[in-house]
A and B are shown apart, each in its own frame.
Chain A
């Protein structure tokens, strides 16, 4: 038998591992994902009640409100991303696994997006109907969320990993993550708004897609580095 085992770790191994485990955990406790969605629906329903239900006004603010609601819902789901793994030592084992950090960090974030960002995206047309958005605006809205919420998950994941073990918990995370969410919000809401006012949403969507590519390239690495700092 050979003396040193050949490195059994791989990107795909780590990715599949993290995704399978986190999805199974989420499946055991679906209440968290349901709460995220419920929060989103509630926030989006509060605006017509607070501002007034005038159809034209609702059509005007709809895209922005839905995006802000999705952003806050995605933010509220963040603390759970790494906190439990940090507390029970799983993060230590992940850092010490032969799989590269890029793999399991990416897998964890992908699972997190499937549980938080994806339901919001799928639900957004329903909320949009409440605001009287036209079908093509609904479509652009869902598309912008589909591109934008992964960026939120990636950015938020990096911030959540950085804030592990820090004093000030949730407020600190808000201070770190929300400013970074701003560009995503601007382009995301901008796309649907452009569509609603008869302009092309393409520039906003391409900027959003560029942000997604940049985030996919850089942020899993940053998450790995942040976790490494956290378990030190």
Chain B
């Protein structure tokens, strides 16, 4: 099999079109299941009461905000090293979804913070570094679109994304490195400190977020491909058909 078959924009355009609906359908099903588990089945938390249920949105979106940045940075590395066209388009397609997840994570976090900490916002290490992540996404999007020549924007923004990768471990380990208000992780490799249904609900919601992110990126990359390749033969044929 030719591994580079789908790295050509024209073939990937078709593949993305076929995959995207499945991603959205599975995202919807998983989200419905996850929310059912989280809001109706999971027991009330002994310490935090009903408020804790925001974690079914908050934790998956926060994970995705970091994970998507990592994936985006990987595509950016490919762009710079191999000068591939599709990887740059994928990075551009992921960025808005990543920014959205970062924003939702911050927003749901502040809703949780108000009843729990008594304030919508504190300047602790994790919140601050997550806010920096949001601005890194904004910076990436702004820089990528700031040039007449899209290829130039691709490469400049890719380099920025790679510099920003330093922020990821800071976010991830901030709750361990600094003694902050933000609570430590409830899930780790040695087992969890939470009820099984809670954990299941959270994982299901994470997969839903994942599926949504893939679907959204694929839909967006399709429109980027069409825009970039609008002068090529295959797009003209597509238009004629």
Q: Are A176 and B160 in contact (CB-based, < 8 A)?
A: yes
Q: Are A175 and B138 in contact (CB-based, < 8 A)?
A: yes
A230 to B132, CA, bound (A): 25
A219 to B138, CA, bound (A): 21
Q: Are B147 and A167 in contact (CB-based, < 8 A)?
A: yes
How many residues of B are counted as interface, with CB atoms below 8 angstroms from the partner's CB atoms? 21
Grouping DSSP codes into helix (H, G, I), strand (E, B) and loop, the A interface class, with mixed when no group exceeds half, is helix
Task: Say if the beta carbon of A7 comes within 8 Å of chain B.
Answer: no
Q: Are A172 and B142 in contact (CB-based, < 8 A)?
A: yes
Task: Say if the beta carbon of B136 comes within 8 Å of chain A.
Answer: yes
A36-59 contact mask (Cβ, 8 Å, vs B): 1 or 0: 000000000000000000000000
Q: Are A180 and B164 in contact (CB-based, < 8 A)?
A: yes
Q: Are A165 and B147 in contact (CB-based, < 8 A)?
A: yes
Task: Say if the beta carbon of A162 comes within 8 Å of chain B.
Answer: yes
A229-B156, A232-B152 given; A166·B163 CB < 8 A: no
A181 to B170, CA, bound (A): 14
Task: Say if the beta carbon of A222 comes within 8 Å of chain B.
Answer: yes
How many residues of A are counted as interface, with CB atoms below 8 angstroms from the partner's CB atoms? 27
B150-185 contact mask (Cβ, 8 Å, vs A): 1 or 0: 001001100110111010001000000000000000
Q: Pick the contact of B142 from A175, A182, A225, A230 — CB < 8 Å?
A: A175
A179-B136, A225-B80, A232-B152 given; A172·B163 CB < 8 A: no
Q: Are B159 and A162 in contact (CB-based, < 8 A)?
A: yes
A175-B138, A226-B159, A229-B159 given; A163·B164 CB < 8 A: no
Task: Say if the beta carbon of A183 comes within 8 Å of chain B.
Answer: yes
Q: What is the distance, in angstroms, from A186's C-beta to the closest C-beta of chain B? A: 7
A180-B164, A226-B156, A229-B152 given; A162·B135 CB < 8 A: no
Task: Say if the beta carbon of B113 comes within 8 Å of chain A.
Answer: no
Task: Say if the beta carbon of B108 comes within 8 Å of chain A.
Answer: no
Task: Say if the beta carbon of B128 comes within 8 Å of chain A.
Answer: yes
Q: Are B155 and A229 in contact (CB-based, < 8 A)?
A: yes
Q: Are B152 and A183 in contact (CB-based, < 8 A)?
A: no
- Interface hits, A169-213 → B, CB 8 Å: 172, 175-176, 178-180, 182-183, 186
A155-B163, A172-B142, A172-B143 provided; 11 other pairs, C-beta below 8 A? A163-B146, A165-B152, A166-B147, A168-B142, A179-B132, A179-B135, A179-B139, A180-B164, A183-B170, A222-B163, A229-B156
13 CB < 8 A contacts A-B: A162-B160, A165-B152, A166-B143, A166-B156, A167-B147, A168-B142, A172-B143, A175-B135, A175-B142, A176-B142, A179-B135, A179-B139, A229-B159
